[in-house]
Amino acid sequence: MTDLRTPPVNDGDLFSERARQYAADKPLQRIHILEAGCGWGDGLDLGDREHRSTGVDVEDPALRAHTRARTDLGGWHLGDLRTVPMPPRAYDVVHAPFLVERVPHAELVLDRFVAAMKPGGLLLLRLRDRDTAFGFLDRRLPRRLRERLWNRLHRPARRSRSARAAGRAAARRFVPPPPAIYDRVASRQGMHAYCVMRGLVISEEYTSRDAVEALGTGSGLAGVLCRLVSALSRGRLTTAHSEVTLIIRKPENRFARVI
C-alpha cells in the first residue's frame, strides 16, 4: 500500500494540478474529461488548455438542478450509471469526487469509468471511507439525524456580522447529498483491492480528517458519537481519517490486465 499522507494542497487544486500535468504531456491533443458525479461539487481547472467536460450522475432533482447550473459542462447525462452513455476509451481524465460511496453497484460503475478511460488516463477519486467512524454514522444514522450531521459539516466559520448573514443564507440553501450507500469498494482497502484486480496503478494516495474535524473535538453530539463508535469498534472504525484521495493511472500497455 502507498504511504498515507496529507495532500500538499486541497483536493480540488491537487486534482486540477494533476490534470494540467497530464495535459502538458499531450500538447497537441484536446483533453476530454468525464465529470462523474457532476451534480455535486465543481469541475477541474485546466486554465486555458482546450478541453471538453462531460458530466454523468444519478438522477435526483437536487443533482439535476446543480448540473443545470454548471457552465463548464459541454454535455451531461443523469440516470443509472450502469447504463448512461460512456463511450469506451474516450476520456483522458475521469474526475469522481464523493461519488463512489453514494451510488449502488459501485464496483460495476467503476468498471464503466475504467472502460471509458484512454490507456494512460487518470482516475481522480475522493471518497468518504466506510471503514471509519464517520462513514459508519453517515450510513447508519436515521435521516433526520443525518441531515443535522451534514448541516453541521456545511456550517462555515463565521466571524463578522456580514459573514454570519451569508452563513445563514447558505445554510438555508444547503441540501444534504443523497443518502450514502457505502458499497464494500467505498473504502481505502476496498479501492486497493479493486485496483489490484483491475491492474490499475495508485500513483498517489492521501487521507484527511475534514469531516471529523468539522464535527469538532469538543462536546458536540456528532463528535462524541464518532469517538464512541471508534472506541466500541476497538479502533477498527477509525477517527484518524474520514476521507481518502486517490490518483489512479490506467496503464498504457495494452497487454496489461485492465478493462
pLDDT along the chain (259 residues), means of 10: 49 87 93 94 92 95 92 95 95 96 95 97 96 89 70 51 40 55 96 96 94 65 82 91 96 63
* All residues at 6 or more sequence positions from 190 whose CB lies less than 8 Å from its CB, including other chains: 130, 183, 184
For the chain, domains (ranges, CATH) are: 11-249 (3.40.50.150)
pLDDT score at 233? 92
Q: What pLDDT does residue 108 have?
A: 97
Q: Is 179 helix (H, G, I), strand (E, B) or coil?
A: coil
Burial class of 243 by CB neighbour count within 10 A (0 to 12, 13 to 18, 19+): buried
C-alpha 71/C-alpha 47 separation (Å) is 15
Amino acid at 126: R
Beta strands in the chain (DSSP E): 31-36, 51-57, 75-78, 91-97, 117-128, 201-208, 243-249
- What is the predicted pLDDT for the residue at 199? 95
pLDDT of residue 171: 37
Over its C-alpha atoms, the chain yields an Rg (Å, rounded) of 19
pLDDT for the residue 142: 74
Residue for grid cell 502507498: 2
pLDDT attached to residue 172: 39
pTM greater than 0.95 (yes/no): no
Q: Output b/e per residue, 5-25; b: 16+ Cβ within 10 A.
A: eebeeebbebbbebbeebbee
Q: What's the pLDDT at 149?
A: 65
pLDDT at 216: 60
